C-alpha cells in the first residue's frame, strides 16, 4: 500500500494513466475512488497502523532531546519530527526530539494527523547507545566480483560509530537462597535427571542467568520447571522463534497439563489475561510492549542468540518488556555465534554487571585475542551454566567425517558463475553455494542407498530451492523422504517430523538449516549430512544435534561432503577459526565448572553435595 499527501494524488493518477494507457487498470474508476477519498478523508485509517511510540531517554543530552519517537515510515511523521528539531538515528530507527510529551503529541496531531489515542507513551526509560562497527574481516571467503558504484554502501559497517541501538537500564541480578528439599521434590515430580536439577537450581538461585547447555540436554524442560517455581502462581512469558511455539506448549503441558497456555498471534489478546503461560515469537512482541497491564513474574528467552543484533526491532522490544519483568533468563545452546560482543545483549538482558558496560567498552575489553577472551570467560562464571552431552551416560558417540568428492557432472556451472564479473560479492557467493549444493545431490543419493536397513539420515541445505530439487531427485530414485523449509505451515512441519520419526519407509529428512536445524527432535536419524555448511560452528552443531540428543540410542555419524578448490574450502576454514573463538569463551566456562558440579550425574551423592554449597 502506498501512502501519499493529498496534494500528490492527481499527479500520481496522471502518472498511472501514462504508464498503463488504459490497459490492466481502470484509471477512470481509480480517479473516482481518489475523489471520494479526498471528499471524506479518514486519517485514522492510516495513522493507527503507524505504530507510533514515544520513549523517555535515560542519560540523554537535554540539548539533543530527552525523548525518542519511533514509527513505521511516514513522510508526515518525519515532517513532525523535523518540526521538533529531531535527529534521526538510522540503526535505532528512531528520532531523538526536543520538547516534552505534550509537545510531541501536539506535533504529531497537527502535522501528521496522528491522534494521541494511536500513540503509545512508555513509562520506563530506554537508552540510545553507540553501535560499534564490526571488526575488520579476516574471512578466507574471497571471490572476484563487481565493484559497487560509489555511494551504494555496503551495510552496517558503513555507519561506523553513532547512536545505533535502543536498549534499557535494568536492575542488577540478585542471588537467592534455595530450599533444597522443595527443589528436589519439584524436580523429581517433573521426572528431571540429576544434571537437570542442577540447571533448575542455577536459575532459581538468581534473578537473571544463562542456561547454555549443549543441544539435546533438555533446556526447555529445565526452564519450564524453574520458571514455574520462580513465578509461583504468577504468569510466565516465553519468547522463542515462531517455529518453536508449539514445542514450548507441549513442554509446558508435559509437566503442568492443567495450566492454561496462550500463544500470541493465535489467541485473542484479551484471553492472555487468563493464561498462566504466554508464548510469543520474536516478531509478535509489539502487542505485549503496548500493554503494560499484562504483568509477568518471569521471562525466559529461548534461542536467545536471536537477540545478538543490538539494533534489531525484536531486541528493542525484548528490552522494553524486560524493564517490566523482575526475573529474566536467556536459554541457548549457542550463546556465541561469531564474535564476543554477541554476549553483550544477553548479559544486559539478565542484569549481569558486564551488561552495564557500553558496547564500545565491552568490545574494547573482551574482543581481539585469547587473553581478553579468557578474562571474559572468567567473568561469566556463575552466570552461565554450560554442560556438554557427556552428562548423558546412555548417549552414544557423535563423529564427523569429511569427504572430498568430485561431482560426475564436473564444475562447469560453478566456474561459469565464478567468472561472471557482473555479480557483486554477496550475490555471487549465494549463487556459488547454490551450485555446490546441487552438485552434491548424486553423492547424497548414493550415500543413502548404501545405508543399512533401519538407518535414517537428515540432509541440511542452505537454500529452499535445493531442498525441493533434492526431494524430487530422491523420490525419483525411489527413496522415501520428507522436507521442511521456513515457508511450511506448522501442520505440514509437524507432519514431516512425525513421518520421519515413526514411518520406517521414510528414510530421508531434507531441510534448510534455518528451519530444520533448531528446536525439533529427529532422533530416528543416525546419520546427518550437510549439502552446504552453515556460517558458524554453533549453527552446524545445533543442526547435527537434531539427531544427537536425549532419546538417541545409537551412535551418530555426521558426513561433510566438500568439493576441493571451491568455496567449500574457505567456509570450512572459517568455521574452524570461529570455533576457536567459541572455545576460548563458552567452552572455557564449562571447563571451569567445579568438579562436584561437572560430574553431578556420576555420583549418587552429587545432589546432596550441591545442596550443601
For residues 234 and 450, the model is more confident at 234
Please say if the pLDDT value at position 131 is more than 70: no
Average pLDDT, the chain: 84
Question: What is the pTM for the complete model shown?
Answer: 0.68
| In the chain, where the domains are located | 6-41, 47-146+159-166, 169-355+593-612, 396-590
Mean pLDDT of 587-610: 44
> What is the structure's pLDDT at 532?
94
Per-residue pLDDT tens over the stretch 349-408: 999 999 888 888 888 888 878 888 888 888 888 899 988 877 877 788 888 989 888 888
> What is the structure's pLDDT at 600?
40
> What is the structure's pLDDT at 228?
97
Show the cell assigned to 608: 546432596
> What is the structure's pLDDT at 599?
45
Cell 556459488 identifies what position?
A: 432
Per-residue pLDDT tens over the stretch 474-509: 999 999 999 999 888 888 999 999 999 999 999 999
Mapping DSSP onto H, E and C, the string for 71-112 reads CCCCHHHHHHHHHCCCEEECCCCEEEECCCHHHHHHHHHHHH
Per-residue pLDDT tens over the stretch 276-300: 999 999 988 988 998 999 999 999 9
Mean pLDDT of 149-153: 48
- Residue 44: what are its φ and ψ, rounded to 5°? -60, -25
> What is the structure's pLDDT at 154?
40
Question: Which of 492, 515, 503 minimizes the C-alpha distance to 456?
Answer: 503
User: Quick one: what percent of the chain has pLDDT higher than 70?
Assistant: 84
Please say if the pLDDT value at position 160 is more than 60: no
- Fold classification of 169-355+593-612 is Rossmann fold (3.40.50)
pLDDT band at 603 (very low <50, low <70, confident <90, very high): very low
pLDDT band at 587 (very low <50, low <70, confident <90, very high): low
For residues 112 and 140, the model is more confident at 112
Please say if the pLDDT value at position 149 is more than 60: no
CB-CB neighbours of 72 under 10 Å: 12
Q: Do domains 169-355+593-612 and 396-590 have the same CATH topology?
A: yes
Residues with Cβ within 8 Å of 112's Cβ and at least 6 positions away in sequence, in order, are 47, 74, 76, 77, 79, 80
> What is the structure's pLDDT at 606?
33
Question: Distance (Å, rounded) from C-alpha 396 to C-alpha 554?
Answer: 6
> What is the structure's pLDDT at 448?
94
Please say if the pLDDT value at position 46 is more than 80: no
Question: Distance (Å, rounded) from C-alpha 537 to C-alpha 583?
Answer: 11
Using CB atoms within 10 A of its CB, is residue 234 exposed (0-12), middle (13-18) or buried (19+)? middle
For residues 298 and 63, the model is more confident at 298
Please say if the pLDDT value at position 81 is more than 60: yes
Per-residue pLDDT tens over the stretch 324-334: 999 999 998 88
CATH 3.40.50.300 assigned to 396-590 = yes
Question: Distance (Å, rounded) from C-alpha 131 to C-alpha 345?
Answer: 12
Per-residue pLDDT tens over the stretch 541-576: 989 999 998 888 899 999 999 998 899 999 999 998
Question: Which of 522, 131, 486 minimizes the C-alpha distance to 316?
Answer: 131
SS3 content of the chain, % helix, strand, coil (to 5): 45, 15, 40
Angle at 493 between CA 479 and CA 336, to 5 degrees: 105
Question: Distance (Å, rounded) from C-alpha 226 to C-alpha 224?
Answer: 6
- Residue 230: what are its φ and ψ, rounded to 5°? -70, -45
Question: Which of 446, 450, 457 minimizes the C-alpha distance to 406?
Answer: 446
pLDDT band at 601 (very low <50, low <70, confident <90, very high): very low
For residues 163 and 528, the model is more confident at 528
DSSP H stretches of helix in 126-179: none
For residues 55 and 46, the model is more confident at 55
Show the cell assigned to 268: 485473542
Per-residue pLDDT tens over the stretch 21-41: 656 666 667 667 767 766 766
The number of helix segments (H) and strand segments (E) in the chain equals: 25, 20
Question: Distance (Å, rounded) from C-alpha 203 to C-alpha 327?
Answer: 10
pLDDT band at 163 (very low <50, low <70, confident <90, very high): low
Pairing status of strand 398-404 against strand 556-562: parallel
> What is the structure's pLDDT at 508?
97
Cell 530450599 identifies what position?
A: 179
> What is the structure's pLDDT at 44?
64
Asked if residues 303 and 319 have their Cβ atoms less than 8 Å apart, the reply is no
Asked if residues 97 and 60 have their Cβ atoms less than 8 Å apart, the reply is no
Amino acid at each position: 500500500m502506498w501512502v501519499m499527501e493529498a496534494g500528490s494524488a492527481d499527479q500520481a493518477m496522471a502518472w498511472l494513466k501514462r504508464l498503463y494507457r488504459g490497459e490492466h487498470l481502470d484509471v477512470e474508476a481509480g480517479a473516482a475512488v481518489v475523489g471520494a477519498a479526498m471528499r471524506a478523508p479518514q486519517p485514522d485509517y492510516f495513522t493507527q497502523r503507524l505504530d507510533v511510540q514515544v520513549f523517555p531517554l535515560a542519560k540523554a543530552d537535554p540539548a539533543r532531546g530527552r525523548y525518542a519517537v519511533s514509527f513505521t515510515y511516514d513522510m508526515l511523521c518525519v515532517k513532525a519530527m523535523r518540526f521538533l528539531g529531531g535527529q534521526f538515528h538510522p540503526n535505532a530507527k528512531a528520532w531523538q526530539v526536543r520538547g516534552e510529551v505534550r509537545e510531541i503529541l501536539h506535533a504529531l496531531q497537527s502535522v501528521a494527523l496522528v491522534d494521541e489515542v494511536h500513540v503509545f507513551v512508555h513509562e520506563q526509560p530506554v537508552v540510545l547507545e553507540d553501535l560499534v562497527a564490526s571488526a575488520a574481516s579476516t574471512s578466507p571467503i574471497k571471490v572476484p566480483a563487481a565493484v559497487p558504484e560509489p555511494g551504494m554502501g555496503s551495510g552496517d559497517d558503513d555507519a561506523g560509530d553513532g547512536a545505533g541501538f535502543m536498549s534499557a537500564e535494568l536492575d542488577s541480578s540478585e542471588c537467592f537462597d534455595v530450599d533444597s528439599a522443595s527443589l528436589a521434590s519439584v524436580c523429581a515430580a517433573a521426572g528431571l535427571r540429576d544434571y537437570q536439577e542442577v540447571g533448575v537450581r542455577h536459575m532459581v538461585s538468581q534473578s537473571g542467568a544463562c542456561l547454555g547447555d549443549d543441544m539435546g540436554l533438555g533446556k526447555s524442560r529445565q526452564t519450564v520447571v524453574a520458571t514455574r517455581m520462580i513465578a509461583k502462581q504468577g504468569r510466565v512469558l516465553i519468547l522463542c522463534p515462531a517455529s518453536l511455539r508449539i514445542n514450548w506448549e507441549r513442554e509446558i503441558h508435559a509437566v503442568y497439563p492443567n495450566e492454561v497456555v496462550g500463544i500470541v498471534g493465535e489467541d485473542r489478546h484479551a484471553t492472555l489475561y487468563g493464561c498462566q503461560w504466554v508464548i510469543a515469537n520474536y516478531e509478535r512482541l509489539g502487542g505485549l510492549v503496548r500493554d503494560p497491564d499484562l504483568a509477568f513474574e518471569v521471562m525466559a528467552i529461548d534461542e536467545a542468540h536471536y537477540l545478538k543484533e543490538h539494533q534489531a526491532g525484536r531486541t528493542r522490544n525484548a528490552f522494553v518488556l524486560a524493564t517490566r519483568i523482575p526475573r529474566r533468563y536467556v536459554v541457548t545452546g549457542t550463546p556465541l555465534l561469531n564474535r564476543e560482543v554477541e554476549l553483550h545483549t544477553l548479559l544486559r538482558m539478565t542484569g549481569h554487571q558486564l551488561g552495564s558496560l557500553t558496547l564500545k567498552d565491552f568490545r574494547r575489553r573482551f574482543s581481539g585475542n585469547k587473553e581478553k577472551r579468557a578474562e571474559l570467560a572468567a567473568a561469566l562464571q556463575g552466570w552461565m551454566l554450560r554442560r556438554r552431552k557427556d552428562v548423558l551416560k546412555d548417549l552414544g558417540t557423535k563423529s564427523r567425517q569429511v569427504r572430498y568428492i568430485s561431482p560426475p557432472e564436473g564444475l562447469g556451472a560453478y566456474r561459469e558463475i565464478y567468472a561472471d564479473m557482473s555479480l557483486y560479492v554477496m550475490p555471487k557467493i549465494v549463487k556459488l553455494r547454490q551450485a555446490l549444493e546441487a552438485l552434491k545431490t548424486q553423492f547424497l543419493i548414493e550415500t543413502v542407498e548404501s545405508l543399512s536397513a533401519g538407518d535414517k539420515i537428515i540432509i541440511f541445505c542452505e537454500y529452499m530451492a535445493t531442498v525441493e530439487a533434492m526431494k524430487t531427485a530422491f523420490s525419483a530414485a525411489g527413496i522415501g523422504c520428507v522436507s521442511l523449509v521456513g515457508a511450511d505451515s506448522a501442520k505440514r512441519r509437524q507432519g514431516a517430523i512425525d513421518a520421519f520419526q515413526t514411518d520406517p519407509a521414510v528414510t530421508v529428512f531434507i531441510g534448510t538449516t534455518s528451519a530444520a536445524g533448531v528446536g525439533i527432535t529427529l532422533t530416528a536419524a543416525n546419520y546427518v549430512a550437510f549439502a552446504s555448511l552453515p556460517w558458524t560452528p554453533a549453527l552446524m552443531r545445533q543442526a547435527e544435534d537434531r539427531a544427537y540428543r536425549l532419546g538417541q540410542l545409537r551412535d551418530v555419524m555426521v558426513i561433510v561432503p566438500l568439493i576441493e578448490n571451491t568455496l567449500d574450502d574457505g567456509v570450512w576454514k572459517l568455521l574452524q577459526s570461529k570455533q576457536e573463538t567459541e572455545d576460548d569463551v563458552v567452552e572455557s566456562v564449562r571447563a571451569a565448572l567445579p568438579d562436584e558440579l561437572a560430574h553431578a550425574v556420576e555420583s549418587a551423592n552429587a545432589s546432596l553435595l550441591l545442596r550443601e554449597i
